[in-house]
Chain A
Amino acid sequence: MKKFFTLRNTRVVGFFALAILLLGIVPGPLILAKNWYLMGNFTNVALLSLISLGVWLTFSMGRINIGQGAFALIGGYASAYCVSKLGWSFWVSLPLAGILASAIGVIIGLPILRLRGVYFAMVSLTLTQVTTLLALSDTMAPITGSSQGISNLPSPPALTIFGMTLIPSFDSLPDTKVGFYYLSVFLLLAGFLLMYRLAHSRQGILARSLQQNEELASSIGVNVARLRLISFAISSFLGGIGGAVFIANLQSISPSAFVVKDSVDFMLYCFVGGLSNVVGPIVGATVLYFAWDWLSVMGNYQLFIYASAMISMMLFLPNGLLSIKIDGLLDFFNSKKQAIADKKNGAKAKPSKRRK
């Protein structure tokens, strides 16, 4: 068992929080250079990472969640409906989208969270497909607009509380994209800190115990069902929020906004980054998104190269990108600290315990 509040971990968190904050400063030059394209990419990466963080949470308790696309779609539709048909402010619809996604997550989670391993993966994959079909159906057309979806969503207005403008209207910015950029980076930062806190809180550690042995966990008095449900609710909440912002950024929604492939992608981000660390999905989303983007020059062979790269990564780094550095660093730091402690105690330096 790793210690979670070691000096190194605090540093890693600080480093990544800083890195995400830096992303917030980067747009300065980007705005000046009017490089909207690159900024748009960063926006997407931040949102996709946010959505994948939810998937990571379900992963941490041993459930393979391939249904996150469904919750992103639900969140997107909820927000789009509130904004376009009910005329509400985007800022009101955003939390509503999250809450609705999370409520549906609870309803669906009640029966299916009991399933394990591949069973859960299969059901959640089916869930994505069914949500897409439901959004396409004529029966739901009054809400979802069927295959055409809802388009021409207005950009978020100003958010004022007691006459104080917290967030300026996105239309007043040099480009609405700037607003979305800041919004998504801020949300990712908030999501990351929340998830880090959560993963290292009592609940997070209990969740990891579920991943190892549920019967044992429940036998020592962990309320397994409740824990799973809460985690799944948080996960779908993040999905809903991320989906809503994504849709607002696109200014339109259709059933194809989030499909099975996206759900699989969210899962892949977590895998590629590594499941052992909260940073995993963020790293994975960044790497895969930009890899896909850069490979687009290859035309027909884009998917082929992407898939081959993914397979070879799996062959050589089966535990994710972070598995190299983090574990290596961890050993390095631990052995150093051990050596210092040993020196202080005047004991002989023990050989560092390295993972085989």
Chain B
Amino acid sequence: MEIVVNGVYLGAQYALIALGLTLIFGLMNVLNFAHGQMFVLGGFVTYGVTERLFSGLHFPLAIAFFLGVIAAALVLMVVGGLFERLFFRTVINRSARDESTMLLAAGTAFLLDSVILILFGQQQKGMPDGQKLIDGVFSWGSVLIAYDRILVAGISFIMIVGFILYMQWSRTGRAMRALAQDKMAARLMGVNVDFYTMLGFAFGAALAGIVGGLLFSVTGINSGLGDPTSIKAFTMVMLGGAGVVSGAIMGGFILGMLESVLLSLLPLIGLGDLTHFIIFASLMVFLAIRPQGLMGKPWG
């Protein structure tokens, strides 16, 4: 039972990460290598703001933290928007092959990595004074979960639902969905393609930043997390189907659940360190049967 709850907690966060990636992918056909780095940057911005407000200005921790997460979202939004405007748009316009954006994406990942290293160093950072957002552990029968995890999972859920509603009902969301479906048609219908592409990239980055901020409150953050996070996000997007919002959410929850279940069951038979190998192997078998992922359009 605890495994399942843990899986839901992991899944909510993973889904949020995958959402940002799939949004960027759907809109621009760009594989954002720097997604994990954006996640880490979000965590560090949250850390910086929380630390300053809590220790320097003596804000209550919860308020300092939420301001930190909002700051992370805003900073990442600006970063994402600038990246799109300055780098990706130019290259997409000039390059002969679509894949060339991959080099650019890898370049931006390196750039963010170096910026994070220069600004924040290599140390692991956690909540100031080692405090928790909410102390205590929720227990119900055999289930034991720390309250802060529940809170983080809850916020992630609200974010996911909010994001879906926003994409479904708002003017911006409609424009973005139109863009993801058919760029030319959207342009003909009077959608400002350039603006909404930029906005989409900014949103995707902001989502990564928010998860970084949320996760920071539970497990802390360090500069080495970028690549593994990107890889996990890729796995989820593969599972669910690239560029599809529902797919990203499903992929996130499936991966969270798989990780939680396998990590607690496999050690029982002495194979705990093979968890990720088994996940990958099953991913390959799955892709052999269904190459476009669960919800994806064929060939994305």
A binding-site residues for B, Cβ under 8 Å: 59, 64, 108, 110-112, 114-119, 121-123, 125-127, 129-130, 133-134, 136-139, 260-261, 264, 267-268, 271-272, 275, 300-304, 306-308, 310-311, 314-315, 318-319, 323
> Does B53 interact with chain A (Cβ within 8 Å)?
no
- In the complex the two chains form, is A307's CB within 8 Å of B228's CB? no
What would be 12 A-B contacts, judged by CB atoms less than 8 Å apart?
Answer: A112-B287, A114-B288, A115-B287, A123-B287, A127-B280, A138-B273, A271-B100, A271-B102, A275-B99, A307-B110, A307-B113, A315-B94
Provide the residues of chain B in CB contact with A108, threshold 8 Å. Answer: 284
Interface of B is mostly: helix
- In the complex the two chains form, is B237's CB within 8 Å of A122's CB? yes
> CA A301 – CA B111 in complex, angstroms?
10
B binding-site residues for A, Cβ under 8 Å: 25, 29, 31, 33, 87, 90-91, 94-100, 102-104, 106-108, 110-111, 113-115, 117-118, 227-228, 231, 234-235, 237-238, 242, 270-271, 273-274, 276-277, 280, 283-285, 287-288, 291-292, 299-300
For B231, the closest partner residue in chain A by CB is A129
Provide the residues of chain B in CB contact with A114, threshold 8 Å. Answer: 287-288, 291
With beta carbons under 8 angstroms apart, the residue of B104, B107, B300 that contacts A118 is: B300
- In the complex the two chains form, is B277's CB within 8 Å of A130's CB? yes
- B101 to chain A minimum Cβ distance, whole angstroms, is 8
- In the complex the two chains form, is B284's CB within 8 Å of A116's CB? no
- In the complex the two chains form, is A267's CB within 8 Å of B106's CB? yes
Asked, given contacts A125-B231, A304-B114, whether A315 binds B31 with beta carbons under 8 Å apart, the answer is no
Asked, given contacts A129-B231, A308-B111, whether A275 binds B284 with beta carbons under 8 Å apart, the answer is no
Provide the residues of chain B in CB contact with A272, threshold 8 Å. Answer: 103
- A261 to chain B minimum Cβ distance, whole angstroms, is 7
> CA A111 – CA B280 in complex, angstroms?
12
For B92, the closest partner residue in chain A by CB is A318
- In the complex the two chains form, is B227's CB within 8 Å of A260's CB? yes
- In the complex the two chains form, is A264's CB within 8 Å of B231's CB? no
Provide the residues of chain A in CB contact with B271, threshold 8 Å. Answer: 139
With beta carbons under 8 angstroms apart, the residue of A129, A139, A311, A323 that contacts B273 is: A139
- In the complex the two chains form, is B228's CB within 8 Å of A129's CB? yes
- In the complex the two chains form, is B234's CB within 8 Å of A122's CB? yes
- In the complex the two chains form, is A301's CB within 8 Å of B300's CB? no
Interface centre among A118, A127, A138, A267 (most CB of B within 10 A): A118
With beta carbons under 8 angstroms apart, the residue of B106, B115, B234 that contacts A268 is: B106
Asked, given contacts A122-B237, A125-B231, whether A314 binds B104 with beta carbons under 8 Å apart, the answer is yes
Asked, given contacts A129-B228, A136-B273, whether A304 binds B115 with beta carbons under 8 Å apart, the answer is yes
Query: Given contacts A118-B31, A126-B280, A271-B100, could you give 20 more A-B pairs where the C-beta distance is less than 8 Å?
Result: A108-B284, A112-B288, A118-B300, A119-B238, A122-B31, A122-B242, A123-B238, A126-B231, A136-B273, A139-B270, A139-B271, A139-B273, A271-B99, A304-B111, A306-B114, A310-B107, A311-B111, A318-B100, A319-B96, A319-B97
With beta carbons under 8 angstroms apart, the residue of B91, B118, B238, B274 that contacts A134 is: B274
- In the complex the two chains form, is A111's CB within 8 Å of B287's CB? yes
> CA A222 – CA B118 in complex, angstroms?
52
5 smallest A-B Cβ distances: which pairs? A111-B288, A307-B110, A318-B95, A303-B114, A137-B273
Provide the residues of chain A in CB contact with B98, threshold 8 Å. Answer: 117
Provide the residues of chain A in CB contact with B237, threshold 8 Å. Answer: 122
- In the complex the two chains form, is B227's CB within 8 Å of A115's CB? no
- B220 to chain A minimum Cβ distance, whole angstroms, is 22
With beta carbons under 8 angstroms apart, the residue of B25, B29, B96 that contacts A318 is: B96
For B296, the closest partner residue in chain A by CB is A119
For B278, the closest partner residue in chain A by CB is A130
- In the complex the two chains form, is B29's CB within 8 Å of A118's CB? yes
Provide the residues of chain B in CB contact with A137, threshold 8 Å. Answer: 273-274, 277
- B244 to chain A minimum Cβ distance, whole angstroms, is 13
- A4 to chain B minimum Cβ distance, whole angstroms, is 18
Asked, given contacts A122-B237, A134-B277, whether A314 binds B231 with beta carbons under 8 Å apart, the answer is no
Provide the residues of chain B in CB contact with A271, threshold 8 Å. Answer: 99-100, 102-103
With beta carbons under 8 angstroms apart, the residue of B94, B95, B288, B300 that contacts A119 is: B300
Provide the residues of chain A in CB contact with B111, threshold 8 Å. Answer: 304, 307-308, 311
Provide the residues of chain A in CB contact with B95, threshold 8 Å. Answer: 318-319
